[in-house]
Amino acid sequence: MDLYEHQGKELFRRFGIPVSEGRLATTPAEARAAAEELQGQVVVKAQVLTGGRGKAGGVKLAEDPTDAERKAEEILGLDINGHVVRKLWIERASEIAKEYYLSVTFDRGTKTVLFMLTTEGGVEIEEVAARSPEALARLHVDPLEGFQPYQARRVIYGAGIDDPGEQKQIMAIVGKLYRCFVESDAMLCEINPLIVTPEGEVRALDSKFTVDDNALYKHEDIAAMRDPEAYPPEERMAREKGVTYVKLDGDVGILGNGAGLVMSTLDVIALAGGRPANFCDLGGGGDAQGVVDALEVITADPQVRSILFNIFGGITRGDEVARGILQALGQMTIDQPIVVRLDGTNAEEGRELLAEAAPANLHVEPTMLEAARRAVELAE
């Protein structure tokens, strides 16, 4: 789950990482009131779950409350990489002498926690990595040994930060960021820019924060930060029904049992020249209600023109799934043609059941590739 900048900063603040004071606003009037409370120059910042807000005109300095209200009017409703701005973070403006970059994430290759630090902050980190890789200092932390302060010293020297005051503050920030990352079950905490003010004070000016969905049950407070409006309506519906679903942008609806099978189904659709509309995993079960729920979510996407049902019978038998499909089709009307590929345990019995019932818009194919081709053809 991705957090908004202001939510990430709230977690930073709780772990003692310095951030600027700010307020949320959803209207220009609220932005004015926030600026009045904060006093002086403020920054008006679009809260959207995407980067590059500055370049897109979603981050603006304001001189006074009237100006903040005007800037809020400009930014609210703005479309930034497909994300419409509905919320603003009004923050006391900082004076910036230097912009650094600090992040912590997982390095899956070495199975360790990876810190990255560079004095070339403020721009996309991929740019720095491509243009001047030597400027990017890396630090691997073994999760079993945990973080040791001497490691922070090493990465700070590695990045070429030689001001003792900055070194001391960044030392502390690296340690706190490690705790924040581990204790929040985060997958990424990125501070870009980590600024140094003209007075030499170091502070997090931005936050990109991703928390592991599978750990949210341990963090009620973070789970409550989820903004349902930030997700496509189909995904919201799926979450409510307990269906494992991810929206994609093609027109062939996909339904399968088992994440691995569904992933390969997406590949086979691409191989057959089509584009999948979604990922949807029925899981182990194939009961009628599960199928109805999944089909309701899949067909809520107006782009779906055909549906491919890919089932491999294992512990869940093919005939059970076939009964589930038939029952589901009896309970609801589906306008799009459905292609079924059924294999594995009791596949024969399952296919017979489908053939006997023979619903009008149901096509049974013997292999995954043939089923994919058929589904793609029917979507045209």
Residue with tokens 């079960």: 285
**103: its two tokens:** 């992040």
Among 218, 219, 217, 193, CA closest to 204? 193
> In the window 22-51, what residues touch ligand GDP (CB under 6 A)?
43, 51
Map residues 181-200 to x or -, x wherever contact with ligand GDP holds by CB under 6 A: -----------xx-------
* Residue 349, CA atoms < 13 Å, CB-side half-sphere: 10
Q: Which of 33, 49, 78, 96 binds ligand GDP (CB under 6 A)?
A: 96
Q: Which does 52 bind (CB under 5 to 8 A by kind): Mn ion, ligand GDP, none?
A: ligand GDP
Q: Does 206 bind Mn ion (CB under 5 A)?
A: yes
Residue number, 151 or 192, with CB nearest to Mn ion: 192
Catalytic residue, chosen from 5, 190, 234, 365, is 190
Residue 99 CB neighbour total at 10 angstroms: 18
Let me know if 190 is a catalytic residue: yes
Stretch that binds Mn ion, among 19-27, 164-172, 188-196, 284-292 (CB under 5 A): 188-196
Q: Which does 43 bind (CB under 5 to 8 A by kind): Mn ion, ligand GDP, none?
A: ligand GDP
Burial class (CB in 10 A: 0-12, 13-18, 19+), 26: middle
Quick one: the chain helix, strand, coil %, rounded to 5?
A: 40, 25, 35
Q: Which of 16, 40, 52, 233 binds ligand GDP (CB under 6 A)?
A: 52
Q: Which does 346 bind (CB under 5 to 8 A by kind): Mn ion, ligand GDP, none?
A: none
Calculated CA dihedral for residues 190, 192, 197, 203, nearest 10 degrees? -20
The one-letter amino acid at 208: K
Residue number, 45 or 247, with CB nearest to Mn ion: 45
What is the C-alpha separation between 348 and 28, in angstroms, rounded? 64
Residues that bind ligand GDP (CB under 6 A): 43, 51-54, 59, 93-94, 96, 99, 122, 192-193, 205-206
As annotated, the active-site residues are 101, 190
Residues that bind Mn ion (CB under 5 A): 192, 206
